Structures are given as structure tokens and as C-alpha cells.
Amino acid sequence: MSTTTGPDSPDALLGPADIRELAAALGVRPTKQKGQNFVIDANTVRRIVRTAEVRPDDTVVEVGPGLGSLTLALLEAADRVTAVEIDDILAAALPATIAARMPERKDRFALVHSDAMLVRELPGPAPTALVANLPYNVAVPVLLHMLDRFPTIERTLVMVQAEVADRLAARPGNKVYGVPSVKANWYAEVKRAGSIGRNVFWPAPNVDSGLVSLVRRAEPVATTASKREVFAVVDAAFAQRRKTLRAALASWAGSPAAAEEALVAAGISPQARGEALTVEEFARIAENKPEQPQQKESTA
């Protein structure tokens, strides 16, 4: 494996041969179970960093760094990079890869060996950006967890399965608009930011990939309801997405009549469906949830 004397060397990033050499040395074979597809194209990772608008003063958190393709490109552009890796072998090897290929930046890299869904804190300065090639099978929960847990993350760019990218960025009225769309929009302004071909991965996935940009809202959604209360309405509305909200929210509200009462109070037609509503409208419904009647204690 070639090494470099600094981040400006063209050899600093990993190419296809480097990736395969590293994997062979570690005895690593990418697995579908872990959703592993390693990026083997240096131009692609640099494009991701540019699209993410990573700045020299950013502290970037990366989830699922794998062998380090994107990590190295992030280190070229950011002040600091913290990578969260669940795989034992990959987590153990990554610091050595950084030290070998970017020795001048190794002190600006930190590794957290953990399941991203369990991460509650990160070392060093608070993260300002999240950039990641997220495993397809856990992309949405990991993204929402990181945005919720680390409110200092201002800008996010994730590479996910194209279908997931479409769902995250969908607007009300779109046929793929659903729970991921609304919940992502609770935190951020969301948009598609490009497509990624299959041939830049090893192994090549059998689905296309897409980039999604999320810029955190300057002001939170204006509501007296909590995130948990709003998300409960969202989950209920899309659990039976073909039903009208009067029917879909019946269990949440206590009855169809109570659901209608909440909807009317929120200024929303009981005949509407969840796919037509913005996150602000879901919040209004949550604010107007009818009081549940108190059950009388038994005197027996």
C-alpha cells in the first residue's frame, strides 16, 4: 500500500487496488448483512465532500467509514473528523490507514467503535457536519438518531439507496412521501443532491444510490407539542396511509370522532390523508389531541 507525506498528495486517497489490498490484508469481505459497499473511486468521495460543502473549520462526524475512502477525503477538507464504526476489524484498522496515508492529519482524526444508534456523545469539539455513506438497511434510523442527538450538526450529506433518498426528500403529495420525509423535515430542509452510479462501489450494489442534503432548520418547528407527540401522529397517519386521517388516527385519538375533533381543531379536513400534510400540520394535530377520559378506579 502506498503512503503519502501530506493531504495534498494525489496518493492520499484510496483507489480500487488500495481498497482490495487493504481488505485482503484484513481478511475482510463486504457483506450484505452489514450493508457494506466500499467506495473505490477517489473522484466520487471528493465530489461528496464538495457537495457537502465541508469547510476548513468543520468538525465532521462520519458513520460507517469502512476502509476509509470517504474519511480521507473529509480529512483533506475539514478541521477534524470523527468516524463511528461498528465492525471490530474495520474499527481496529482505520487509525493505521489514516496514519499511513495522511500522517499530518492523524491527530485530527478520532474513532468511536460503536453502533451509531447507541452513540450518545462524541470526543472533541461538537460536530458541525455529518457526512456518511450509510448502510442501506439502517440509513433512516441512523440519520434521525444523529440529527436528534447532536443538534450542533448544521449540515448533513448522506449517500443512501436511491429509493430511500427519494423518500427522505419527498414533498407532501408525492407518492413516496411518508414517515422518513416528515421526520427528516422536522429537523432540516431536505433535498436530493445528486446520484451515484453502481460502478464506484465494491462490490457493486444491485441498486442505485443517491445523495441527500439536509440543512438544519434555523428555527425549530413552531409548536407546543413535543417531538415525541408529533412523531406519534406521523406514525399513526402512515401506518394506514390509504385511510383518511379520521380513520387512521382513530386509535391515536381514542376514536374516529375524537380524531375528527382534533383534525377540525387543527384546521385539517378529516377526509385528508397523511401524504398531503406538512410537518407543521402534523404538529398542529398533535397540539389538539383530545384529552383521554380518566378511567374510574374500581371500588371493589
Cite the annotated binding site by residue number: 37, 39, 64, 85, 115, 133
Locus of grid cell 402512515: 238
Angle at which helix 227-239 crosses helix 279-287, to 10 degrees, equals 110
Locus of grid cell 380518566: 294
Residue among 8, 11, 47, 2 at smallest CA distance from 196 = 47
* Residue 191 in grid coordinates: 433535498
Binding site residues for S-adenosyl-L-methionine, as ranges? 37, 39, 64, 85, 115, 133
* Residue 186 in grid coordinates: 422536522
As a three-state string, the secondary structure of 210-252 is EEEEEEECCCCCCCCCCHHHHHHHHHHHHHCCCCCHHHHCHHH
219: CB partners within 8 A, 6+ apart: none
What gap in Å lies between CA 185 and CA 168, rounded to an integer?
8
Buried b / exposed e across 41-69, counting CB within 10 Å, b at 16+?
Answer: bbebbbbbbeebebeeebbbbbbbbbbbb
Residue among 179, 173, 7, 145 at smallest CA distance from 63 = 145
Q: Residue 223 to residues 149, 187, 220, 241, 243: CA-CA distances in angstroms?
A: 20, 13, 8, 24, 26
* Residue 198 in grid coordinates: 453502481
